[in-house]
Structure 1
Amino acid sequence: MRVGIIGVSAERGWASIAHIPALKALPDFEIVAISNRNPEKATAAADAYNIPQVFHNNLDLINSPDVDLVLVTVKVPEHRELVEAAINAGKHIYCEWPLGNGFAETLELNDLADKNGILTVIGLQSRAVPAIRYVKDLIKSGYVGEVLSTTLTGSGIIYGALTEQAMAYAVDAKNGAGMIYATFGHAVDVLCDTLGEFKTIGATAINRRKTTTLVESGEQIPMTAYDQIAVNGVLTSGAVASIHYRGGMLRGTNFQWEINGTEGDLIITADGGHPAIFPLTIKGSNGEQTGLEVLEVPGQYLTVEADGLYPAALNMAYQYQWLHKDLTVGTRLSASFDDAVLRHRMIAAIELAAESGNRQNF
């Protein structure tokens, strides 16, 4: 599968941290092209990662006959134009989450992809993480019995007192990359994919910090994205759910997800609020047990060689294994643009519940 990546820099960025190492670790993929509108950055990245073709125009990469799968890793406001072009070019598409800048853009892109019969993948890769898949199977097998409630607390990683210049655009709500989409969005997607969607939602979503300080310069810039998001409600199963995400990295709890049932309990923890970036620890207890024990992920879930791969790249490799099966066997393991619509619709319901003070049916 020949991959072309839009938005690659040799210096930093999610493509270089996660996507490129993951793809290079898998024999079923070959990175044949990259693009960056900055010619110097494009050439430097191609040299750094030994990629044969380099484009200075993103549309040229999309329309290249050598590219089977277009990977969109640029900032959210640029997603619509590039995804639309890839759909019209008839290419398979992997787009980073969130798909569009808001629900309306996402719905339009999904409709266009459906009309053109395009296989789409949205970057909600936390679903593919072995620990998450194991937890999902534990729930299905009845490890905790009937799920009664779940509580998730996490950190936004950014959206706190300090922000790196490269992420400054994300603290501006109009760019569609705030915490409600980023870390919170990834975490709530995993919760719902594992336990079921919300039936009713109540929410508080506010912006407590009005500014953040750029690490490199010390400059204070406005922050309009939410840095406190609290959601509570009832899942379709009847389980009660509560989620609270806080901006920044915290001195205390940065990720803790409890699942409580009639027969047992599970607790999943990590050092940061994104479940596909930080290693997860699973503890559980059921039946006659009185204390929690660490539950190691069984080897059957560990199908990628981990040598030299950081957690973010390793977990991305599991997502690409899913994608390869979807393309070659016809499975539907990867989150698609349909899933992006569902998650955007949920976020819209959360914002409406927070704004109106009224619970929303979802």
Structure 2
Amino acid sequence: MPSSASGPHTPVRVGIVGLSARGGWAATAHVPALAALDGYELRALSASSEESARAAGAAHDVPLTFGSAGELARSEEVDLVVVTVKVPHHRELIVPALEAGKAVLSEWPLGNGLAQAEELAALAEARGVRTAVGLQARSAPPLRYLRDLIADGYVGRVLSTTVVGSGRRWGPTFDEGSDYLLDRANGATLLSIPFGHTADAVAMVLGEFAEFSATTATVRTEVRHATTGQTLPMTAEDQIAVTGTLESGAVAALHFRGGTSRATDFHWEINGTEGDLVVKAESRALWMGRITLHGGRGQDTGLTELPVPAAYETLPQLAGRSTEPAYNVAYAYAQLLDDLTQGTRQTPGFAHAARHHRFLDRIQESARTGDRLAVSA
């Protein structure tokens, strides 16, 4: 692994587990993000078979292809293993990379539930390897600017924050290949994905919850295929409401609904003693797509858009590309490069992921028992 980013260095050689010739998140976000950055080389990939791996290699111009994640992890030509498959398969594909002593970037959620996340975090610590998890909203320039606006007193003392969001995949219909999202046991739910990404961003900007109470429900117990009309049961929650107080004392309310809304698909408001801030996400998903900030303070009678200063947009090659899924991912990779080469700790690792999984597990406990819970208990 390169030891310094202060000057020219050997590129970090990346191997992606789950890159397909047919597209998907790895092809849409990770490949263009890596291509936009100096300091990385997309060197290898693995797929479910040698044949599909060769097809993906040809499609994405990747020189080394493997029929299993274990073979990729053991390759001496791979420094960083990136796992981009469905959540139920994360553990079985991450473990070989950790055991091979490789740095690992896993998509979020880290594991299928808290137990797997804690196991993976413990193994990573025991092996002494650098890890990262795909909570890339933390790396988005607008949200880093928002965090600094709050810290610098733009709204004064934060009194409250409110988030209303939608999770399209858990609405009345499902698409081809997304039926696994309907089953809560698979760990890829409205709670773990849209809520999980957003709650982590809220914590990055405003601090963690101190205590909270939660209500969850599966209102639509049966949904239909968008094309064929086939119906399937849904056990994953399609309503999540969490209210409580942050460590700062501010009151917070987060409500996520399955499906989409004709009114508001995403709205994040921060209210303080001296002003107000509003975050808008054009794609309904805070962690991908264009984010805009709007604020007003003092004698302002309304909100105006707050452009992100150039100091936060440090990748000029991505200028004008904030609507692309690769945008926030590229900024996360840029921070990870510093972590790998300079020893910084900018990107959230597996230990952070396990803590966040623990928070989501506590939400389920609160919803089940009706108790108001302290996060740290």
- Regarding TM over 0.5, the answer is yes
For 2:146 and 2:320, the matched residues in 1 are separated by 25
Aligned pair 1:336/2:338, yes or no?
A: no
CA offsets, 1:268-320, max 9 Å, x none? Answer: 01233321212112100112212111101111111221268552101110000
For 1:272 and 1:314, the matched residues in 2 are separated by 13
Equivalent residue for 1:319? 332
Aligned pair 1:345/2:358, yes or no?
A: yes
Please tell me whether the aligned partners of residues 154 and 272 of structure 1 are also in contact (alpha carbons under 8 angstroms). no
The Cα of 1:27 is off from its aligned counterpart by: 1.4
Aligned pair 1:306/2:318, yes or no?
A: yes
CA offsets, 1:80-114, max 9 Å, x none? Answer: 12211111100000001111111111111111111
Please tell me whether the aligned partners of residues 200 and 361 of structure 1 are also in contact (alpha carbons under 8 angstroms). yes
Equivalent residue for 2:246? 235
Residue among 286, 304, 307 paired with 2:297: 286
Question: More displaced, 206-215 or 232-241?
Answer: 206-215
Residue among 295, 315, 319 paired with 2:306: 295
Equivalent residue for 1:117? 128
Equivalent residue for 1:132? 143
For 1:38 and 1:253, the matched residues in 2 are separated by 43
The Cα of 1:30 is off from its aligned counterpart by: 0.6
Question: More displaced, 70-79 or 209-218?
Answer: 209-218
For 2:81 and 2:196, the matched residues in 1 are separated by 23
Question: More displaced, 145-154 or 269-278?
Answer: 269-278
CA offsets, 1:307-348, max 9 Å, x none? Answer: 685521011100000000111111111011111111111111
The Cα of 1:200 is off from its aligned counterpart by: 0.7
Please tell me whether the aligned partners of residues 266 and 284 of structure 2 are also in contact (alpha carbons under 8 angstroms). yes
Equivalent residue for 2:369? 356
Listed as ranges, the matches of 1:15-94 within 5 Å are: 15-94=26-105
Question: More displaced, 245-254 or 210-219?
Answer: 210-219
CA offsets, 1:167-196, max 9 Å, x none? Answer: 211111000010101011000100011111
For 2:147 and 2:197, the matched residues in 1 are separated by 16
Please tell me whether the aligned partners of residues 170 and 258 of structure 2 are also in contact (alpha carbons under 8 angstroms). yes
For 2:291 and 2:136, the matched residues in 1 are separated by 14
The Cα of 1:218 is off from its aligned counterpart by: 2.4
Read off the aligned partner of 2:298 and give its amino acid letter. Answer: G
Read off the aligned partner of 1:338 and give its amino acid letter. Answer: A
Please tell me whether the aligned partners of residues 36 and 55 of structure 1 are also in contact (alpha carbons under 8 angstroms). yes
Read off the aligned partner of 1:12 and give its amino acid letter. Answer: G
CA offsets, 1:189-215, max 9 Å, x none? Answer: 000111111111101011111122223
For 1:222 and 1:12, the matched residues in 2 are separated by 28
Please tell me whether the aligned partners of residues 158 and 271 of structure 2 are also in contact (alpha carbons under 8 angstroms). yes
Identity level (%): 46
Segments of 5+ residues of structure 1 without an aligned counterpart are none
Please tell me whether the aligned partners of residues 276 and 311 of structure 1 are also in contact (alpha carbons under 8 angstroms). no
Closer, same or farther: CA 198–308 of 1 in aligned 2, 3 Å:
closer
For 1:10 and 1:153, the matched residues in 2 are separated by 36
Please tell me whether the aligned partners of residues 99 and 106 of structure 1 are also in contact (alpha carbons under 8 angstroms). yes
Question: More displaced, 304-313 or 258-267?
Answer: 304-313
Read off the aligned partner of 2:372 and give its amino acid letter. Answer: R
Please tell me whether the aligned partners of residues 102 and 176 of structure 1 are also in contact (alpha carbons under 8 angstroms). yes
Closer, same or farther: CA 48–307 of 1 in aligned 2, 3 Å:
farther
RMSD value, Cα: 1.3
Please tell me whether the aligned partners of residues 121 and 351 of structure 2 are also in contact (alpha carbons under 8 angstroms). yes
Please tell me whether the aligned partners of residues 20 and 53 of structure 2 are also in contact (alpha carbons under 8 angstroms). yes
Read off the aligned partner of 2:350 and give its amino acid letter. Answer: F
For 1:54 and 1:217, the matched residues in 2 are separated by 36
For 1:68 and 1:5, the matched residues in 2 are separated by 11
- TM-score using structure 1 length: 0.97
Please tell me whether the aligned partners of residues 201 and 349 of structure 1 are also in contact (alpha carbons under 8 angstroms). no
